[in-house]
Amino acid sequence: MHATQSPGLDELVGSWRLLSAGVTMSDTKERIEIYGPNPAGYMVLSAGGRIMFLFTNADRSTPNSDSDRAKLFSSLTAYTGRVRIDAPGRFITTVDLAWNPEFRGEQVRFFSLDGDHLMIQSPEQTHPQYRDRLLVADLIWVREDSTKNS
């Protein structure tokens, strides 16, 4: 039943490791790796349509103060919701829980799959870290091989 309601979703089911997380500013075309050159993160999509994202800077340290904790919060993205494909190469996540409450609701993303590599791109939008500027975010993922421990 899920496959007929969301054609193509089956191809994305599984666990994915983040390789790259960037934004390109619409006004200057400047590209920023928002979680550094080697971000840490995972995306997991269940066969039932629940998707979860968690990604951060790779070099996070244990906080020693409220200021340190605030810095950790700003170097994190985490959210989950129900996902559906509404057009070829486009999915919508209805976010029901997020690190930042303003991220709840529908999040539209475009995607392309090339073997074990998945590219997800946002439409032009604002981002909680860059409120006054329009940008396009892109994430590159690699499928985790469940037969190997890494």
User: Could you tell me if residue 145 is inside a domain?
Assistant: no
Give pLDDT, residue 1.
32
Q: Collapse the DSSP code of 71 into the 3-class scheme (helix H, G, I; strand E, B; otherwise coil) and give the result.
A: helix
User: Could you tell me if residue 119 is inside a domain?
Assistant: yes
- Per the structure, the complete domain to which residue 104 belongs is given by 2-140
Mean pLDDT, residues 121-149: 83
Higher-pLDDT residue of 70, 136: 136
User: Could you tell me if residue 146 is inside a domain?
Assistant: no
CATH number for the domain harbouring residue 132 = 2.40.128
Q: Is 89 left (phi over 0), alpha (psi -120 to 50) or beta?
A: left
User: Could you tell me if residue 147 is inside a domain?
Assistant: no
User: Could you tell me if residue 45 is inside a domain?
Assistant: yes
Residue 75 has pLDDT above 50, yes or no: yes
C-alpha 80/C-alpha 115 separation (Å) is 25
CB 79 within 8 A of CB 98: yes
Mean pLDDT, residues 6-25: 88
pTM attached to this predicted model: 0.85
Residue 83 has pLDDT above 50, yes or no: yes
Number of domains in the chain: 1
User: Could you tell me if residue 148 is inside a domain?
Assistant: no
User: Could you tell me if residue 149 is inside a domain?
Assistant: no
User: Could you tell me if residue 69 is inside a domain?
Assistant: yes
